[in-house]
Amino acid sequence: MTAGPTLSDIELAAQELSTHISRTPLEYSQNLSDVLGAPVHLKMENLQRTGSFKVRGATYRLLHLTDEERARGVVAASAGNHAQGVALAARELGIPATIFMPLGVPVPKLLSTRGYGAEVILEGETVETPLRLAQEFAERTGAVFIPPYDNLDVVTGQGTLGLEIMDQLPEVDTILVGIGGGGLIAGVAVAAKARAAAAGRTVRIIGVQAENAAPFVPSMAAGEPIEVVTKPTIADGILVARPGDIPFAIIKDLVDEVVTVSDDDIARAIVVLMERAKVVVEPAGAVGIAALLAGKITATGPTVSVLSGGNIDPLLLQRVIAHGLVASGRYMTIRVPLPDRPGQLSRVSEIISQAGANVVEVLHTRHGQGMQISQVILQISVETRGLEHQALTLQALRDAGFAPEEIVDA
């Protein structure tokens, strides 16, 4: 038997949560359907209260506290979405809440958490320090610690998202879900697999992790949770070094596959979602679309990608858009050595214009290592229509006798 909640448990949770959460829309995407070769729908959990699915599990956990536990208050640690979910649920249920957050938490998430009435304590460079302090606070004060994913009530609450998908698209064949600690995909897998089985069919559940924080890949191979060394990723909402024990016991039996995506893939997905679906999604919420665009998903029928959250710092969004444009071949910066004589800049600009690219920024300098006295360096940023157009633009410069070099990290 698979550990964790049953379908009946999740259906009961959906009833209890009905007045506390939103039933988020499921939207069809023609553009992404064309990419995959099968119908693609977006589960818009970025429109959920607090902007994330986390409010489902947090609220369901708080609903199950005893009166004595409610009086003691709750405590949690989070870099954002879990904090907001706990804070909102606590406010609505009249429970005192203390949230520990790292010092570098995005300002919008910090302000939202405080706005929901929680006491916020900032400490530590990463979420590990707030997690330790929150657990110490619970031991010292008697407050109930609310874990972000490794808890049966939390998994059960997150599973209500799976019920909504099955209600909204009964013929769904594949569901793509981002994985951090595993609470969301575990709950969705239980609900979706059981509903599909009751209808005499199957549904694929595919998890997606950022390649810089992907403990589920070795864990699934080993059959037990494995801790990995993580690297920085823009998908900080799923930056987890080790799967949760309760979610993993479910995932190893019910999740069909786990794939990984790069930060470039994620940035490109965010740009595509903004341009084509007209939605703003945080990096962790875009990993399913990133996997689809990167060719990691095989079409087998109607597919749903869960946009699990929309809480992105505007400053990060600005950087992500720039990065996404570069990754998709829409923007490039090139370095061109030129002889130091009049008319060279004009000539290069004319060639780029004739190639159909648009110059947006120019740096022209006589200073730099490795330059000859009679040389200048032109660094020029251009807008292009894609990777093929970039190659044509570079070739046009080469055909004219120049030696352009693309600056990859620009």
pLDDT at 369 exceeding the cut of 60: no
**Mean pLDDT of the region 56-68:** 97
For residue 365 the two structure tokens come to 């300098």
Range 56-145 has CATH code 3.40.50.1100:
yes
Q: CATH 3.40.50.1100 residue ranges in the chain?
A: 7-53+151-326, 56-145
Mean of the pLDDT values across residues 178-203?
Answer: 97
Above 80 in pLDDT, residue 408? no
- How many percent of the chain have pLDDT more than 70? 97
What pLDDT is attached to residue 195?
97
Q: What is the mean pLDDT of residues 247-273?
A: 96
pLDDT at 104 (0 to 100): 82
Superfamily of domain 330-406: ACT domain (3.30.70.260)
pLDDT, residue 4, reads: 86
Minimum mean pLDDT among 40-54, 204-218, 228-242, 356-370: which range? 356-370
List the one residue out of 4, 66, 1 whose CA is nearest residue 245.
4
Mean pLDDT estimate for the chain: 93
- Asked if pLDDT for residue 174 goes beyond 60, the answer is yes
pLDDT band at 267 (very low <50, low <70, confident <90, very high): very high
What pTM was estimated for this model as a whole?
0.88
How would you list the strands of the sheet with 358-365, edge to edge? 358-365, 375-383, 331-339, 405-406
Residue 299 pLDDT > 80: yes
73, 98 Cβ separation under 8 angstroms: yes
Q: Domain 7-53+151-326 is of which CATH architecture? A: 3-Layer(aba) Sandwich (3.40)
DSSP string for residues in 338-387:
EESSTTHHHHHHHHHHHTT-EEEEEEEES--TT--TTEEEEEEEEE-SSH
